[in-house]
Amino acid sequence: MAQRDPNADNPRGSESTPGTTHFGFEQVPVGEKQKRVREVFSSVARKYDVMNDLMSFGVHRLWKRFVIDLAGVRRGERVLDLAGGTGDLAREFRRLTGTSGLVTLADINAEMLEQGRGRLADAGVVDVPLVQANAEKLPFEDGTYDCITIAFGLRNVTDKDAALASMRRVLKPGGRLLVLEFSKPLNAGLSKIYDQYSFKLLPLMGKLVAQDADSYRYLAESIRMHPDQDTLKGMMENAGLSRVQVYNLTGGIVAVHRGYRLD
């Protein structure tokens, strides 16, 4: 897997050449990215939650708690947790919707869904449908959900514009989309420290804990290639979402974008 000097200019937002897209810092054929992302998450699925705790020092739980509170899910609502992985958000949303509501856990990766199935069952949650789905072409009818969340998944999608449009389509009028994703640190000093951590320590932790340094090197690279806060806000607006708000967490290392379908 390609490596890059973390002190070099970030390529975030740079254009792909025709017929290619970014897989980390590599240019790959558009049709190949989905396969390679699937291989990454198949490799890390069993250690996914452990690595999240290690990489974020447990802070990812606070980021997700912020999303849950910001989503404002109420009893009886229908919620889609997209790229929901091991189901930690889906579990909380199921508690909030009650038996009169519905929570669907969707992920493109079968191994991640199996981890989610097991963890939900361990928590006594057995009524959450699991759907293997591509975010770019969601297999749901128009206007199905009151709320959609996608946590740390959008950066792995090949065509983010198509995915955002697909999410908007399956929202009910008045429904909201929340995107939790790594973003651009607001402070230059923090950005330098974060680069050193990402490119040196993350692959090392991946090697020691998950026996997979390459997947965690891809993680660091994919974060740098993801659109920054303002760019993603514009992409959501272009997809037809309104009242898009941005909430920076941990100095902008992570951001939550919330937008609404109003028509």
**Which residue ranges make up each domain of the chain?**
20-184+226-260
| Nearest Cα residue to 184 out of 21, 11, 60 | 11
Q: Please, which pLDDT band fits residue 32 given cuts at 50, 70 and 90?
A: confident
> What distance in Å separates the CA atoms of residue 240 and residue 259, rounded to the nearest whole number?
9
pLDDT digits (tens, 9 = 90+) for 100-138: 999 999 999 888 899 899 999 999 999 999 999 999 999
Q: Please, which pLDDT band fits residue 198 given cuts at 50, 70 and 90?
A: confident
CATH fold of the domain at 20-184+226-260: Rossmann fold (3.40.50)
**Would you say residue 257 has pLDDT above 90?**
yes
Across 167-186, average pLDDT: 96
Higher pLDDT, 230 or 29: 230
What pTM does this model have? 0.84
> What distance in Å separates the CA atoms of residue 253 and residue 185, rounded to the nearest whole number?
5
How many Cα atoms occupy the beta-carbon half-sphere of 60 within 13 Å? 17
| Residue 18 backbone class (left: φ over 0; alpha: ψ -120 to 50; beta: rest) | beta
Residue 97 is encoded by which pair of tokens?
């919707």
Q: Supply the pLDDT for residue 215.
A: 75
**Would you say residue 7 has pLDDT above 60?**
no
> Strand 102-107 vs strand 130-132: parallel, antiparallel, or unpaired?
parallel
Q: Supply the pLDDT for residue 9.
A: 41
For 81, the 3-state DSSP assignment is strand
How many Cα atoms occupy the beta-carbon half-sphere of 154 within 13 Å? 30
Q: Please, which pLDDT band fits residue 13 given cuts at 50, 70 and 90?
A: very low
What 194-200 contacts at long range (C-beta under 8 Å, 24+ apart), as own/partner pairs, is 194/253, 195/6, 195/7, 196/6, 198/6, 198/223, 198/224, 199/3, 199/4, 199/6, 200/6
